[in-house]
Each structure stands twice: as structure tokens, then as C-alpha cells.
Structure 1
């Protein structure tokens, strides 16, 4: 990705937090690369070069700074990449624990492996495997410094199946072994606890309106699966056959979320857990760019002023959120949440954590393969739609890695009983597509209408045309305007 060196120079000299994670400064004389907010003395401009990602800097032979910790930097918005194919490839790579061959990855994307390599070289300056290895090794460094996990557990949690391979990649990147990094300790000290209870921090670029995020998730929290109370988000999970519970709290002064994970049976895939949570809370959003576009609409501008730090609530699991969206067609959020709770109670899996508290796991497509959904409070047609969606997911006809909004909507609305509102809402939440917009949503039409008359879907689409490519964030602001009493 092309960087403006003049902007990078001013940002690093000012230690501007808005640019944290957007680029990294590599110092030729020391062989070290830093975040733009590094507190160390700023090097001379003639001695630095800039990289768009930490992985790219590491791949070029620079070592991460031990003071500013590039491994802890917030991520860059995925939608900022030029190539949608690269976006899709990165999402596939980051959503699976083990690496895929370039050939297999290209096959899933519907392109040749040669073309995929060329795209990565053009947009990231790296090979796909090099991206995978450096991102996982950077995450492993973080675990070495901040958790009590053993080196073998860290290798697994980062996505490496071979300890020998992990050691080799790590030493090549950091020019020291994992054992040497562990012995060196961390600035804050290794976190207390046991391998079964680990803490992670998720950094973000401010602002973040945490109460607003929790209010959205709290009204949709599933009994037994999720719980929102006193500023804490909690949910059960299963990753790589390991079950556990995570609790997320906000540390606004540090610009981070603190995640406490308790897992049964050992260390789960913490890299995947980290990626899912970043998407769930939209931590890599470009708030400044989004607000700059949406402020042009007076109604949205008022909402942004009242609650800066807008984020798009995503999904822990795309299938779970999609199924709940289908349940919620033409009924209230409260009713849909109640029915979803019944579905979990009947088809989900219950387990007890280390404190003796019972939790539930949302059922997988395989667990719902023979479900008839009778007795949940659904109409026969809605139950039939759910069965069709589950079958399509299991057979691969529903692809949660669709490259475009139009392609996704076309794919989903081809199933009986699913309309554009559902497809757009799933795109917003399950796929985190920033330009999705359920124009026929009752709340949106009320927010855009007058006191006595709702707007029409056609009028809503026309007005939202000026919000591209952030229409999903505009929809959130419209829903919030109803609660705050603001109207057009």
C-alpha cells in the first residue's frame, strides 16, 4: 500500500494517536521498527522508512521495538485495502487457525495462485505465507510477554502445529528465541493466573463509545450464551474443541478492551479469538473517515455529536447472527431474542465452568441438521426458512466470505423466505460490511420520516446514497435517533 511520507513524518513527530496502527516507522540505523506513538526519541527522517503493516516491516528484516510494542498496535481497517480480493484473502487467512497453501486459498477465491501472489506483492509487498507467519509470530510475542502460557501452548494458540516451526519463524522475525523473550520479561510483568485463565488486551484508536456498544448487544443478549451487566460483556464460546467463557471490560484511559478468558481443557486458539472479538466490537474502524462522510447529513451529525466513537456491532459467529436475523424477520428485537433463547435451550450444548456456573453454546449447522424448529413460537413458513438456510450453509451454498454486498444479497435472497432486509442486516452484522443498508427497516423509515408519516424505502435509499460507503453506520445512527428523540 502506498504511504504519504510527508503525512507519516508529521504524524510520528507529533506522536498522533489517530495514526497508531496505520503505519510503522522502521529505523535503518538500529534495525528496529516502531509505532508512530513510540515514546522514544524520534529518529532523523533520513534514517527512517515507512511500512503500512507490522508484518511488512518484520518481513523486511526489522525487529519490533520492545518499548512501544508494535505487536499491541490496533489493526488497520480491512476495507482500506485497494483490492477486494486481498481483503477477502486476508479474512480467510485470519479466520482459520492453520495456514492454507496459496493454491488452496486461490481456489477458494476463484482465481489462480499466480494472480493471488501478484496481488499480495502489489498491495502488501509480501507473500501470503509471509503475511500469515509474521502476523502469528507478532501475536505470539504478545502472549510471551503478557501471559503465563507455556511456549508450546503459545505456539498452538497462535496457529502453529509444530513447535520446531514456531521457533524457526519466531527467531527469524525477532532474531531471538521465544525462550529468550520469555526470560526478558515484560514492562508490566507477566500477567498473573494459570494457562486456563488468560488475559488479552485489544487496543483501538479512540474514540470508542463503549456504553453504546453494550446497549446494542445487551438488548440482544441470549440467555446462557451472553450477558451484559455493569459495563461488562460476557459470552460462552467453543474454539478448536475447547469450551470457555470470556469477559470483556473497557479501559478508556489505556484505549483498550481487557479480555479475560477461562477455557476448559487447555489453551484455545487465542489468535482466532482475538480476531473474532476485534470484528465483534469493530475495533479497527476508521472513525474519523466515517464521521467525515456522515456529518454531511444534519440528522446524523447531531447523533455523532451526542455519541462520538460509533462502531458497527459485528458477530462472534456469522452463522449464529444470520440465523437470529432470520428469526427476527417482521417481529420485535425482544421477541426474536426470546425465540432464539428457546432455540439455544433445545438444540444448544450446555456446560459448567470452573466456578460451577452453567453456560450454553449456540448450536452449529451440524447440530441443527435435523431440527424441525417446532414449538419455538415460529410460523410454519419461518421454520421452513430456517431449515432451508441451515441446509444451504451445510452444503456450502451460503458463503460467508462473499466478496461484495450485491453478490451476498443475491446469494441469500435466492433462498425461500429471505428478503432484502434480512440479507442486508446479515451483511451488516455477520459480515461487517460497512455499506449494507436495510432500507425497508421500520425504524429507519420512522427516523427519516416526519412526525405523522414514515419515509419510503425509495426515499431512504436516495438519502443514504450520500453516506456511501458507510451506510451501515448511518443505519445505526438512525436507530439511535429514535431513542434520543431526534428526528429529521
Structure 2
């Protein structure tokens, strides 16, 4: 990825938080690389080199700054890479705890290992293994500094099955051992035994602005009974999101709170053995809250539209609410066909409580894990409040998922929508809405959505709502962020005296 040295220089000298995580500054005289917001005295321009990722800087021989902590920087936007194949490979690498071999990764992508190496060299400048090792070492550093997990558990959580290999990779990047980093932590206790009953806290940084109250409000209206909950605080910024989860065989509860003064979210993870899934859990949450979005770039593009500009003035930190699991969310999208948000949420809650697994969360609360496709293989859905036709659609979708006919790793919007609409009872609205929220595809656009059509009709002053054809024509100028535009259109209804339903 190419960087403009002039822009990078201006951003680091201004310590502009909008550029945090978008590039890193390596200082030749000290051998250290930093975030653009590093509080240290800025080095002379002739002594710096700019890198697009922390992995590139580390593999160029620079060690991470212990003051600004590159491990805590927000990630790059998902559309930042030129190659969708590389982006898909990175997503697969980050989804699992352990590393994939180049051959396994290439096979899942449907290309040769030689071509995969070529793509990584062209677009990132590193091999897949170098990216994996550096990202996992940075993640391990954050656990060493922010938690009291034993070092062996941290090595496992970071994807290393060998403590010796973990120590070797970590020392090569940080030029100190994990034990030395742990000793440097000012808050470390004399007794480092980890109590399983206590949560593990991890932190997710973002580039401001972030509309946390707006995100919580969106999730609160759709919270699955027994699975999700939005806990109100004294102020909207103090609200907490909570949900049960099952991830790679581990189950637990997570609670997410906002720390606006530090531009980050604090995630408290409860559950025995959940330390092993902290890395993929972190990646899921970054997508759920859309933390890697470039709000400034999105706003700059969409505000040329008068209607969207009006909403952006109220909500400059727009984020696209994602989903914990695409299978779960696709079911919810099917439930939501032609009914209200509240009704769809009620039906989804019935499915969770009828077919899901119950367990006692820390504190004694009884929670539910949303059922998997395998657990729903024999469900007939006839007694949950949907029509027979809708029940058949749900059965077809579950069966297609179990057969592997629905590819939730599909990076192409049109291909994914074609897979979905090939199933009986699933139309363009369901496919695009699933792509928009279930897969966080930024250009998905459910053009036939009633809320979108009402919003466009009101804006034009027409007595009738707009047509899907008119919505698609208007949305052409919003590419590649039509999903964000859809969200803003739904929000525009709340700014009017009369509000419409939005999913």
C-alpha cells in the first residue's frame, strides 16, 4: 500500500487521531516505530520512514514503541487493500487461533500457494507467515501489559502451541522476552495466578468519532432475549453491551463498555477457557462495532448528498452495526421479512430459547447460546410464529448452510447475493440486508427496504414513497458506502415528525 510522505508527516506532527492505525512512523536513529499519535517528541523528517502496517515496520527490523504501543492501534479499514483475495486471506488468518499453512490457506481461497505469496508480496510486502507472527506478537504484548493471564496462556491465546516458539518470535520483534515485558508492567501483582472467576479485559481502539449511544440504541432495539442485553448507564456513553457466545468450542459472556477519553472499548470476557479464543473474539467484536471504519472518509464522500449531509451533521461518527455470527443474522433477516423489528426479534428469541443451549453465566444469570445450523437441522419452525412458507425458507437455508452452499467468507457482494437468492423464499432485500449487517459489506444496499423508500420519498417532497429503481439510481453516487447511506436514511426518519419502521 502506497503512502504519501507529505500527508504522513503532517498527520504525525499534528498527532491527528484520525490517522491512528493508518500508518506507522519508524525512526532510523532509535530503531523504534510509533503510532502517529505518539506523545514523544517528533523526530526529524530525515530520520523517519513510513509503513502502512505494524507488521511491515516490525519485519523491517524496527521494534514497537513501549510508550504509544502500536499493539493498541485501531486497524485499517477493510477496504484499504487493493486485492480482495488478500483481504479474504487476512480474514481467514485472523478468524482462527492457530496459523494456517500457506498451502491450506491457498486451498481455501481456491488459488495456488505460489500465487498467494505473490499477492502478499505485491500488496503488503510480507509473507502470510510474517504477517501472522507479527500480529500475534503484538496481540500477546497487549495481553502481557493489560491482563494477569499466565505467560503460557497468553502464548496459547496468541496462537502458539509451543512456548519456546512464542518466546523466539516475541523476542525477535520486541527485543525482549515476554517475562521481561511482564516485569515492566507497573500494575503487575506479586502473585500472578489467574482467577478463572475474574474476567479477562481486552481493549479495542478506534479512530474517533464514534457514535456509541447510537450503536447501543440500535442493538437495544434488536437484542435477543436471553442472548443479548444492553444495560443502561447513568449517561448514554456509560451503557454496556452484553451477550453470550460460543466460539471454537468455548462458551462465555462478554460485556463491552465505552472509554471515550481513551478512544477505545473495554471488553470483559467471562468464562473458563475463554483465553484461548481472545484473538478471534477480538476480531469479531471489531467487526460487530465497525471499529476499523474510516468515519472521516465516509462522511466526506456521503455529505455531498443533501439528505445524508443533514443526518451526518447530527451523527458524524456513523458506524455500520455488524453481527456476531453471519448464520445467526441471516436467520434473523429471514424472520424480519415484511414484519416489524420488534416482531422479528421476538421470533428470533423464541428460536434461541427453544433450540439453543442454556447455561449459567458468572453472577448466576441464566443465559442462552444461539443455536448452530447443526442444532437446527431437524427444526421445522412451524410453532414460532411464522407462516408455512417462511418456515420452509428457514429449513432450506439451514440445510444449504450445512451443505456448505452458503459461503459466508464470500468477499464479492454480487456472488453472495446470488447464492442467497438461489434459495426459495429469499429475495434481493434479504440477501443485501444479510450482506450489509451479517457480513459487514460496506456497499450492500437493500433498495426495496420500506424505510429507505419512505425516507427518499419524504426528502423529494413526494406524497408517495420512492421506488426501488429510484433508490438504486440515487445510490450510485454513494458507492462504495451504500450500506452506510442506508443506515443514515433510516436515521433520517427519526429526525422527521413521522418515523418509519427500519430493520
1-side partners of 2:452 and 2:220: how far apart?
20
Aligned residue for 1:116, secondary structure, equals helix
Partner of 1:312: 320
Partner of 2:486: 475
Q: CA deviation at 1:223?
A: 0.6
User: Are residue 443 (structure 1) and residue 451 (structure 2) matched?
Assistant: yes
1-side partners of 2:384 and 2:274: how far apart?
36
1-side partners of 2:264 and 2:498: how far apart?
33
Partner of 1:200: 202
Higher mean C-alpha displacement, 309-318 vs 165-174 = 165-174
Q: CA deviation at 1:486?
A: 7.3
2-side partners of 1:269 and 1:166: how far apart?
17
1-side partners of 2:188 and 2:321: how far apart?
33
* 1:35-46 pair list within 5 angstroms: 35-46=35-46
Partner of 1:277: 285
TM-score normalized by structure 2? 0.94
User: Are residue 402 (structure 1) and residue 410 (structure 2) matched?
Assistant: yes
Preserved CA contact (<8 Å) 1:58 1:173: yes
Partner of 1:209: 211
Q: CA deviation at 1:244?
A: 1.1
Q: CA deviation at 1:210?
A: 0.6
Preserved CA contact (<8 Å) 2:436 2:444: yes
Q: CA deviation at 1:161?
A: 2.1
2-side partners of 1:487 and 1:343: how far apart?
32
Preserved CA contact (<8 Å) 1:18 1:206: yes
1-side partners of 2:165 and 2:427: how far apart?
48
Aligned residue for 1:481, secondary structure, equals helix
Q: 2:424 aligns with which of 399, 416, 423?
A: 416
* 1:277-296 pair list within 5 angstroms: 277-296=285-304
* 1:382-401 pair list within 5 angstroms: 382-401=390-409
Partner of 1:218: 220
How many residues of Structure 1 are paired with residues of Structure 2 in the alignment?
Answer: 487
Computed over aligned residues only, the root mean square deviation of the Cα atoms, in angstroms, reads 1.6
Q: CA deviation at 1:189?
A: 5.8
1-side partners of 2:27 and 2:365: how far apart?
51
TM-score normalized by structure 1? 0.97
Preserved CA contact (<8 Å) 2:97 2:276: no
Q: CA deviation at 1:127?
A: 0.2
Alpha carbons of 1:394 and 1:66: their partners in 2 closer, same or farther (altered >3 Å)? same
Q: CA deviation at 1:258?
A: 1.1
User: Are residue 358 (structure 1) and residue 366 (structure 2) matched?
Assistant: yes
* 1:51-130 pair list within 5 angstroms: 51-130=51-130
Alpha carbons of 1:487 and 1:380: their partners in 2 closer, same or farther (altered >3 Å)? closer
Aligned residue for 2:200, secondary structure, equals strand
Q: Could you list the per-position Cα deviations for residues 294-341 of structure 1 after superposition, in whole angstroms to 9, with x for gaps in the alignment? A: 101111100000111000001111111111111111111111100000
Preserved CA contact (<8 Å) 2:444 2:483: yes
Q: 2:387 aligns with which of 358, 365, 379?
A: 379
Partner of 2:476: 465
Preserved CA contact (<8 Å) 1:385 1:417: yes
1-side partners of 2:400 and 2:335: how far apart?
16
2-side partners of 1:192 and 1:443: how far apart?
53
2-side partners of 1:426 and 1:166: how far apart?
38
Q: Could you list the per-position Cα deviations for residues 253-302 of structure 1 after superposition, in whole angstroms to 9, with x for gaps in the alignment? A: 11111111111245231111111100000000011111111101111100
User: Where in structure 1 do 4 or more consecutive aligned residues deviate above 4 Å?
Assistant: 188-193
Alpha carbons of 1:104 and 1:192: their partners in 2 closer, same or farther (altered >3 Å)? closer
Structure 2, unpaired ranges of 5+: 233-238
User: Are residue 297 (structure 1) and residue 305 (structure 2) matched?
Assistant: yes
Aligned residue for 2:275, secondary structure, equals coil
1-side partners of 2:41 and 2:32: how far apart?
13
2-side partners of 1:248 and 1:266: how far apart?
16
Alpha carbons of 1:22 and 1:487: their partners in 2 closer, same or farther (altered >3 Å)? farther
User: Are residue 11 (structure 1) and residue 11 (structure 2) matched?
Assistant: yes
